[in-house]
Structure 1
Amino acid sequence: MIAETVCSAVSAAGLGIAVVTAYRKRYVAAARLAAYSLVPVGLVMTGVVGWLADTALSPTAWAGFGVLGAAWLLFTGTRAVERRRGTTAAERGAAGKAEREAVAPAAAAPLPGGTAHGTARPSTPRPAPRSAGAPEDFSDIEAILKKHGI
């Protein structure tokens, strides 16, 4: 009797928190909280303790299975929404890190007159431009192809 009361109180508190979360327009999180809070009531309604004695013919037990099924549907539904949106915490963190890494090398690239820190660098001779009729050198490409057996 006391276990049923405690589970009911925990479920009621969880549903209250889910309502507040939904009021804050965080619907996926609210649905997940509702799913978590329905599990204790579902377990009480199924009569886990008296499973073998009266589960088969108990309408309350079958209603408990329905509540557990609803909780499972909420779990899988919220996971599907998160996957479709791609908004899990790990993905948001990885996306932010990738953006920072993509921007940082370009920001630290050396300027044409010097290095990234403003110091002058020694000039290196540039190769002479080819004339329009000069044959192209494909020896490095041929070496790569031969290395791979092509």
Structure 2
Amino acid sequence: MLAETICSAASAAGLGIAAVTAYRKRFLAAARIAAYSLVPIGLVLTGVVDWIAGIAFRPSVWIGFGLLAVAWLLFMTTRAIERRGVGTRKERKAAARAAQSEAIAPAASAPSLGSGLPATRTQARPKAKPQQQSASSGEDFSDIEAILKKHGI
């Protein structure tokens, strides 16, 4: 009953404001205000306000909203943990093994003896460029990591 009275009063006030706006020769704004002011009384007449009031004042509904909020928090927490890179134990072990195997023998498949000819400048350049590129890309990533840490990500 109280909700219907409030909605009716809001509609009446809105229609009054629309009339004053139309009196000032601002018909487009007056029509828009009138449309907005008719919505609350329309909701009362269709029964939506009774339905919402019935939901708002039942404790079981609020318990349900609380449970939905807890579920949403759990989803968001697990997503944040996944994004930080803390995976399952299997994923961490696999990543550790991959890093360890790379560190032990990164060029194990390459022959240990050269062709027996002295190295020329062309042979030395390709070896130096990947090191420079990896160093510069490492610097780029450290800059990005610093920015992300600064923003708490």
With normalisation by structure 1, the TM-score equals 0.31
With normalisation by structure 2, the TM-score equals 0.31
Give 1 or 2 for the bigger CA radius of gyration. Answer: 2
